Structure 1
Amino acid sequence: MAKPVGAVTRGTTNPNRLRRVDAFLAYRCGALLADAEDPLVVDLGYGATPVTAVELWARLAATVRPDVRVVGLEIDPERVAAAQPDADPPGLEFRRGGFELAGLRPVVVRAFNVLRQYAEDEVAAAWRAMTAGGAFLVEGTCDELGRIATWACVDSTGPRSLTFSARLAALDHPATFAERLPKALIHRNVPGEPVYDLMRALGRAWDSSATPFGARQRWLATVARLRDEGLPVLDGPARWRLGELSVPWPETAAGPILH
């Protein structure tokens, strides 16, 4: 096998840290996996322990199709070796690999809290490598407990959407999302950039939607206000009630990121 592409990252993780993105992945990619001849998902950079890869397999097997396959990839061979005892289900395994995906051709790739540890100018090449074989990529970052997260949906043509996701009871203000933006956007949250305008609009809508009826109602009112202002909000109330907001990918002032 060719040498894995990438660098060893810190590898910190926690059980249930990626539950929010897993639920979204089952929703957004469920049809892709259901229709696939080989329903293969790659979990790239699962970390020092394989717990989130194990959880991903269990959730997809229960909600999408029982024969789904999940391959966890890590560059560090010691992490791969340490994960082998957890490869008990026939649909779960662990291999050494990086952005080249160990030569696999998955339907979906999840890469979370990985590119956050790279330089911004390395993002486009990593996206191209992970989507070159036709995979649908969900790439993003979250806090240590998985209560605040953002992610990009990317295909071979480039980034398609940006999702904000929060445990609403823990959300003090949407400005909290700024420090968890995907690497492609986190340094572009400055005046003159579309993501900056998006974050300001989200904050204004939240500030104008205070209600005595709780955080969920405030979030729903925030999303409604954004729609009324003309923001092309994706999905529908069932997702919004979960604390999600997906919008078309905000292009950068410098132009498309992938190409």
Structure 2
Amino acid sequence: MKVQGEITRGTTNPNRLRRVDRWIAWWCGRALRDAAEPLVVDLGYGATPITAVELRARLARVRPDVRVTGLEIDPARVAAAQPAADPPGLTFARGGFELAGLRPVVVRAFNVLRQYDESAVPGAWTTVTAALAPGGWLVEGTCDELGRLGSWVALPAGSAVPATLTLAAKLATLESPATFAERLPKALIHRNVPGEPVHDLLRALDDAWRHAAPLAVFGPRQRWLDTVSRLHASGWPVLDTRHRWRLGELTVPWPGTRH
């Protein structure tokens, strides 16, 4: 099977993907619990295997027998990751968007497509979601180097269109929701211009953040909770609840348009 994709920079850090991992455990938890074969792919794990190791540990809380396979195009990275393997729970192999012929329930592809041209995104989405197990999910996005700010989309099996967009931040370091623009998924980063839904979303979120400024005296979490409440009250559909907001998250339908 031909490997599809390009070698990326591969930079990563321990704990960088904790926010998206936590969200995957929540959003994809039922799919993992119901799966006959609880296989998850960490697509493009990078120069070190740490993100795959962490993903396996976090998802084991949802499904103790979960299996994670880290895929990389660069054979040298696959070889370097082998000492971290713990078969059958954690393995590493060479592969790209074709997923090396695997049929996972979940694929996490983070900080991968950001390094591609925007025109490559739809094809990559289509290829990955076509290979998912029924009921599976592709979670694709990006975050900053320390994992304090990020965003991602979730696509169901067989779909070329995301179902959701999630924004997530460490609230203690969030200066303004406008900074999410720096870490939007590749499909949206050039769409943050007037007239585009994601631009409207970020502007509405930033307006709500400013109106919630008086609550900053009670801490960044209270300000964020009020911000998302205001956004929802103004008519924006919000798919998660206050419990998720407390974690610095916000999940809306793709691409964040009003119903």
Farther off after superposition, 11-20 or 149-158: 149-158
Aligned to 1:5: 4
1:231 counterpart = 2:236: yes
Aligned to 2:115: 117
Deviation at 1:89? 4.8
In 1: Cα distance, 2:149 partner to 2:240 partner:
19
1:144 counterpart = 2:145: yes
Aligned to 1:48: 47
Residue of structure 1 aligned with 2:247, choices 218, 229, 242: 242
Farther off after superposition, 134-143 or 106-115: 134-143
Deviation at 1:10? 0.2
Secondary structure class of the residue paired with 2:125: helix
1:187 counterpart = 2:185: no
Deviation at 1:250? 1.2
Aligned to 1:65: 63
Maintained 8 Å contact 2:151/2:180: yes
Deviation digits for residues 57-98 of structure 1, max 9, x if unmatched? 01111x111110000000000000000000025310000000
Letter in 2 for 1:14: N
In 1: Cα distance, 2:12 partner to 2:92 partner:
16
RMSD, matched Cα: 1.1
Letter in 2 for 1:109: V
Letter in 1 for 2:96: G
In 1: Cα distance, 2:167 partner to 2:116 partner:
21
Matches within 5 A, 1:1-259: 2-61=1-60, 63-134=61-132, 135-155=136-156, 156-157=158-159, 158-210=161-213, 211=215, 212-250=217-255
Secondary structure class of the residue paired with 1:132: helix
Instruction: Give the alignment's TM-score, normalised by structure 1.
Output: 0.95
Deviation at 1:251? 7.1
Maintained 8 Å contact 2:167/2:250: yes
Letter in 1 for 2:207: R
Secondary structure class of the residue paired with 2:163: strand
Give 4+ residue runs of structure 1 displaced > 4 Å after superposition. Answer: none
Deviation digits for residues 184-214 of structure 1, max 9, x if unmatched? 0000001111111111001101011011111
In 2: Cα distance, 1:110 partner to 1:79 partner:
18
Secondary structure class of the residue paired with 1:221: helix
Secondary structure class of the residue paired with 1:247: strand
In 1: Cα distance, 2:255 partner to 2:29 partner:
25
Secondary structure class of the residue paired with 1:64: coil
Deviation at 1:133? 2.6
Instruction: Give the alignment's TM-score, normalised by structure 2.
Output: 0.95
Aligned residues: 250
Deviation at 1:122? 0.5
Secondary structure class of the residue paired with 1:25: helix
Maintained 8 Å contact 2:201/2:256: no
